[in-house]
């Protein structure tokens, strides 16, 4: 399979998915989301694939967020559709996958990039990785499940601190608070992710799929939280703060909220 913004290969029952937009720090534009959806469906349907690793091309970024330039053209309904689509891809195709999906975080994991990583079943990070949800600095909030998943992973207080300050944290701090499973060197990152998948492959695939579903059931009673997030994300596109935040970002100036 060939894509413009992704690299995809299957080797030893593992699907390697690499977001490949190095000049844009692997930002998730809509075409990349389209291609990611196709690949994740292929992972689901390919009997030879037992698990997957998602990483970023280059040495700087895993995924440095969404492509903010595209946001300027979105109306309220478009923003709602975008958030719902992100929820579908991240929740149904990643979090609810019966095959283990690991995020190999090799640099900046910001905004939608960190949200994608949080949807994965595990997160391994290189020592140089930086993690954050900067959406409030754009007059927005995380719109692909971030408000819910971060809270589940690190607790309400730490989640609110990360989201409300929009500050980045190191991989080591992410490990300390439970956001990252393990921190390794950049050279070890893929090998460690592969070794964990191979360990899982040695177990019952039926039991693994059932365990994933059981763990995911923990938040079934909180689905309204995701719905609230979608509504807020799209409604924020109507605000002056969003317009100011994005304009400041694109013009590389400090926003005036």
pLDDT in tens, 2-24: 899 999 999 999 999 999 999 99
Asked if residue 220 has pLDDT above 60, the reply is no
Interval 63-80: pLDDT, tens? 999 999 999 889 999 999
Average pLDDT over residues 200-228: 82
Q: Is 173 a catalytic residue?
A: no
Please pick, among 135, 173, 227, 244, the residue that the annotation labels catalytic. Answer: 135
Q: Which residues does residue 11 pair with via DSSP β-bridges, in sequence order?
A: 14
- Phi, psi (degrees; rounded to nearest 5) at 110: -120, 150
Q: Respond yes or no: is residue 135 known to be catalytic.
A: yes
Q: Is the pLDDT of residue 143 over 80?
A: yes
pLDDT band at 235 (very low <50, low <70, confident <90, very high): very high
The SS3 call for residue 12 is: coil
3-class SS string, the chain: CCCCCEEEEEECCEEEEEECCHHHCCCECHHHHHHHHHHHHHHHHCCCCCEEEEEECCCCEEEECECHHHHCCCCHHHHHHHHHHHHHHHHHHHHCCCCEEEEEECCEEECHHHHHHHHCCEEEEECCCEEECCHHHHCCCCCCCHHHHHHHHHCHHHHHHHHHHCCCEEHHHHHHHCCCCEEECHHHHHHHHHHHHHHHHCCCHHHHHHHHHHHHHHHHHHHHHHHHHHHHHHHHCCCHHHHHHHHHHHCCCCCCC
Q: What is the mean pLDDT of residues 37-61?
A: 98
Angle, CA of 127, 90 and 130, to the nearest 5°: 20
In a 10 Å sphere around its CB, with 0-12 CB exposed, 13-18 middle and 19+ buried, how is residue 157 labelled? exposed
Residue 219: pLDDT over 80: no
Lowest mean pLDDT among 103-107, 186-190, 227-231, 232-236: 227-231
Q: What is the pLDDT of residue 229?
A: 87
To the nearest whole percent, how much of the chain has pLDDT over 70? 98
Q: Which of 2, 59, 115, 182 is catalytic?
A: 115
Q: What is the per-residue pLDDT for 222?
A: 53
| Residue 168's pLDDT band (cuts 50, 70, 90) | very high
Higher model confidence: residue 223 or residue 113? 113
pLDDT value at residue 221: 59
**Closest to 96 in 3D by CA, of 226, 233, 254:** 226
How long, in residues, is the chain? 257
The predicted structure's pLDDT at residue 188: 98
């Amino acid at each position: 399979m060939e894509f413009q913004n992704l690299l995809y290969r299957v080797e030893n029952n593992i699907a390697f998915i690499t977001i490949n937009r190095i000049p844009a720090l692997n930002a998730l534009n809509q075409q990349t989301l389209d291609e990611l959806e196709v690949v994740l469906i292929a992972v689901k349907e390919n009997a030879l694939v037992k698990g997957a690793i998602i990483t970023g091309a280059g040495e700087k970024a895993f995924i440095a967020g969404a492509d903010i330039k595209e946001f300027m053209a979105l109306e309220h309904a478009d923003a709602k559709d975008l958030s719902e689509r992100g929820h579908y891809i991240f929740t149904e195709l990643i979090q609810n996958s019966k095959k283990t999906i690991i995020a190999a975080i090799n640099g900046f994991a910001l905004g939608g990039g960190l949200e994608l990583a949080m949807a994965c079943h595990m997160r391994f990070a290189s020592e140089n990785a930086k993690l954050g949800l900067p959406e409030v600095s754009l007059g927005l909030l995380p719109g692909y499940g971030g408000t819910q998943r971060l809270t589940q992973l690190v607790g309400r207080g730490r989640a609110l601190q990360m989201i409300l300050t929009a500050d980045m944290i190191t991989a080591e701090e992410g490990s300390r608070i439970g956001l990252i499973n393990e921190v390794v060197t950049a050279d070890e990152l893929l090998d460690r992710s592969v070794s964990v998948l191979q360990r899982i492959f040695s177990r019952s695939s039926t039991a693994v799929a059932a365990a994933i579903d059981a763990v995911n059931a923990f938040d079934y009673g909180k689905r309204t939280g995701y719905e609230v997030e979608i509504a807020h994300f799209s409604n924020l596109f109507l605000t002056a703060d969003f317009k100011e935040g994005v304009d400041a970002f694109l013009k590389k100036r400090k926003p005036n909220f």
